[in-house]
């Protein structure tokens, strides 16, 4: 039936995204095609979909109030542009954040951290990488931190299987670390910018559960990790080291300070977070432009570094978020929300645990976008435990499979990690951490934050 065609489109499109490597089609291209197809379908059969999803009365009211406008006018002017505006906030935020991080990396700023890691003991390296990743993911985004830490691994560890092991724990720590920070993951950014959560509350209520989710499995596996790993001899003949240390340090602290300033900016001005990110990027841009003018060699302004940004990732988020927005406008998400609520009888803990497990299969970005569409703020207001627990569940749940998160996909691509190796060696620890952190969250809500 035509009423289910949009759902079929989404399922087929998502299958191609999940099977990106076997299908030999970039997921960004699939996401963009999926978004366009869903909205084209909505335009041509929109009235039928409106009737099917229970909006007949609303549609009739619109036609009565606007007899000169047709259905296409309603879609383009009311629905599509509304969604594009909300999505643009997220994309501009990510674009600016990625530019700041890329600038720090170009100036070799992250070496301030990586040069401190001198151990050859496997257990010490495991704890060092996990805790460092956990902290950095809360400040930067977990995808970028995963890329940086995997790059570090290639400079430290010679054996491929050893790198797979450490990379698996980097993914775990990155996703868990990003779950308690409003700027640590795309999903928490979406919840924060959408008004579902505020920065102080999400940090207060999810920090301890996220620490538990990391430390419990990390402590258990530490008893099995012994001996030293084979260090890789690194060629220090690197032109990036020609950048003076004072410039490297200046760019690092200015860039990271700019990222940390964004939540403060939002609290003070009440403007959307992307405006604060624009402000931080502009300050860094001015600074690097002056540095380039003064030193020139190996020192570039943000204008040059913009060309290195992974724009395909930005376009992927655009496509997938716009596709989910189409399903929301058609009313499918509201129907799904009703079904979930009825199935769990309104129990937000069971509901979010279910969503967290689903995020092991479905990428957490469209999943959270769909959840936001399914449950408006009139149902669960800002800082409701539903939203706070959701941020934890989709972050920790994204660790269960390596394809469940952007961080996992990045590590898989960088180190060519085998899907079934991760399933055998890492998934069990991800599950232990997921349920341990969830239990901590519920206990804290029961006895500490009643």
Q: How far apart are CA 279 and CA 273, in angstroms?
A: 10
Mean per-residue pLDDT, 59-68? 60
Which residues have CB under 8 Å from 369's CB, separation 6+?
Answer: 190, 320, 321, 324, 325
Mean per-residue pLDDT, 159-186? 90
Looking at residue 61, what is its pLDDT? 57
Looking at residue 340, what is its pLDDT? 75
- On the 0-12 / 13-18 / 19+ scale of CB atoms within 10 A, 203 is middle
pLDDT of 280 higher than 70: yes
- Residue 382 in 3-state DSSP? coil
Confidence class for position 240, pLDDT limits 50, 70, 90: very low
Looking at residue 50, what is its pLDDT? 52
| Contact between 176 and 213 (Cβ < 8 Å) | yes
Mean per-residue pLDDT, 336-357? 82
Q: Which of 404, 398, 374, 406 is nearest to 387 (CA)?
A: 374
pLDDT of 148 higher than 70: yes
Q: How far apart are CA 196 and CA 86, in angstroms?
A: 13
- Residue 228 in 3-state DSSP? strand
pLDDT of 3 higher than 50: yes
Q: Which contacts of 235-239 are long-range, i.e. CB under 8 A and separated by 24 or more positions?
A: 239/298
Strand partners, 231: 157
Mean per-residue pLDDT, 38-55? 64
pLDDT, tens digit, for every residue of 94-123?
Answer: 788 888 888 888 888 877 877 777 788 889
């Amino acid at each position: 039936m035509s009423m289910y065609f949009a759902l079929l489109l989404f399922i087929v499109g998502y299958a191609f995204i999940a099977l990106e490597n076997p299908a030999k089609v970039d997921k960004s291209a699939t996401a963009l095609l999926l978004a366009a197809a869903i909205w084209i379908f909505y335009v041509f059969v929109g009235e039928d979909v409106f009737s099917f999803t229970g909006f007949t009365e609303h549609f009739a009211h619109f036609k009565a109030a606007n007899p000169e406008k047709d259905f296409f006018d309603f879609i383009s002017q009311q629905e599509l542009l509304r969604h594009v505006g909300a999505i643009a906030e997220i994309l501009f935020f990510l674009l600016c954040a990625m530019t700041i991080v890329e600038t720090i990396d170009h100036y070799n700023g992250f070496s301030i951290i990586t040069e401190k890691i001198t151990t050859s003991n496997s257990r010490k390296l495991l704890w060092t990488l996990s805790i460092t990743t956990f902290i950095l993911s809360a400040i930067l985004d977990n995808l970028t931190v995963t890329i940086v830490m995997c790059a570090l691994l290639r400079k430290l560890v010679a054996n491929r299987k050893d790198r797979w092991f450490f990379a698996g724990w980097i993914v775990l720590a990155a996703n868990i670390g990003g779950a308690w920070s409003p700027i640590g993951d795309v999903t928490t950014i979406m919840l924060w910018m959408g008004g579902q959560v505020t920065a102080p509350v999400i940090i207060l209520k999810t920090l301890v559960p996220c620490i538990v989710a990391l430390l419990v499995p990390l402590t258990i596996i530490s008893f099995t990790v012994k001996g030293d790993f084979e260090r890789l001899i690194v060629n220090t003949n690197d032109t990036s080291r020609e950048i003076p240390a004072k410039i490297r340090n200046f760019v690092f602290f200015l860039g990271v300070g700019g990222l940390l300033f964004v939540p403060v900016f939002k609290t003070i001005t009440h403007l959307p977070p992307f405006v604060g990110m624009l402000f931080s990027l502009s300050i860094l841009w001015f600074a690097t432009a002056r540095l380039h003018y003064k030193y020139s060699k190996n020192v570039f302004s943000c204008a040059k570094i913009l060309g290195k940004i992974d724009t395909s990732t930005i376009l992927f988020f655009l496509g997938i978020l716009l596709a989910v927005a189409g399903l929301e406008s058609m009313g499918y998400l509201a129907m799904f929300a009703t079904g979930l609520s009825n199935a769990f009888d309104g129990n937000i803990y069971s509901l979010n645990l279910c969503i967290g497990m689903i995020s092991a299969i479905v990428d957490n970005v469209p999943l959270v976008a769909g959840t936001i569409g399914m449950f408006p703020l009139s149902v669960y207001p800002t800082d409701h435990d539903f939203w706070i627990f959701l941020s934890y569940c989709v972050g920790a749940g994204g660790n269960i499979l390596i394809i469940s998160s952007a961080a996992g996909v990045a590590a898989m691509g960088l180190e060519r990690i085998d899907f079934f190796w991760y399933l055998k060696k890492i998934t069990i620890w991800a599950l232990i951490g997921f349920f341990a952190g969830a239990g901590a969250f519920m206990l804290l809500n029961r006895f500490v934050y009643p």
